[in-house]
Amino acid sequence: MAVRASREIVIDAPPEAILDALADIEAVPTWSSIHKHAHVVSRYADGRPRLVKVTVKLLGLVDHEVLEYHWGHDWVVWDADRTPQQHAQHGEYTLCREGESTRVRFDLTLEPSTPLPHFLVKRAKKTVLAAATEGLRHYVLAGKGSLQPE
C-alpha cells in the first residue's frame, strides 16, 4: 500500500535559489539527514541533474536508489527505480513565489516492498518531511543553494 506525505513551508528566497539548491545533488547529504550519499550520473543539456544515485538510511534500513529527475521553471519531480526496500517512489517540489519569498510544497509517494507498522510509517514520514523541508530551508538560507558560475 502506498504511503503519501506532504508539507508546505515558506522560504525567504526566490524560487531560482531553491531550485539551484535542489540541483546541487552532491550537497543533499549535508542538509538531509536521511541521505548518506548522492551522486549525479547524467545531466540534461542545461546542466540540471537527470539520473542520480543516492544512498538513504531511514529507520535503520539502508536503500540504494536510482532517481530520474525532471525540471520545470517552478518545480522538480523524480521517480525511483524499484529497489529491495520499495516498489516505487515519486517525489516533487512545487514552488510558488510570494513576494520576496517562495511557498514550497513537497510531496512524496512511496510504495514499500513490505507492509510496515503504522507507528513506523508515522515516524518515517516525520523524519522525511523534516529533512525535505526544514533541511532545505536551512541550506538555502545559509546561502549555499546558489550555483556559482564556472
- The label of the residue with cell 535503520 reads 60
**How far, in Å, CA of 86 to CA of 56, rounded?**
12
The CA-CA-CA angle for residues 136, 7, 94, to 5°, reads: 70
Query: Which pTM value belongs to this model?
Result: 0.90
The residue among 57, 106, 51, 114 whose CA lies nearest residue 80 is 51
What are the structural domains, with CATH classification, of the chain?
Answer: 3-25+70-141 (3.30.530.20)
The predicted model gives 34-62 an average pLDDT of 96
CA 138 to chain CA centroid, Å, is: 14
Instruction: Report pLDDT digits (tens) over 115-140.
Output: 888 898 899 999 999 999 999 999 99
Instruction: Report pLDDT digits (tens) over 86-102.
Output: 999 999 999 999 999 99
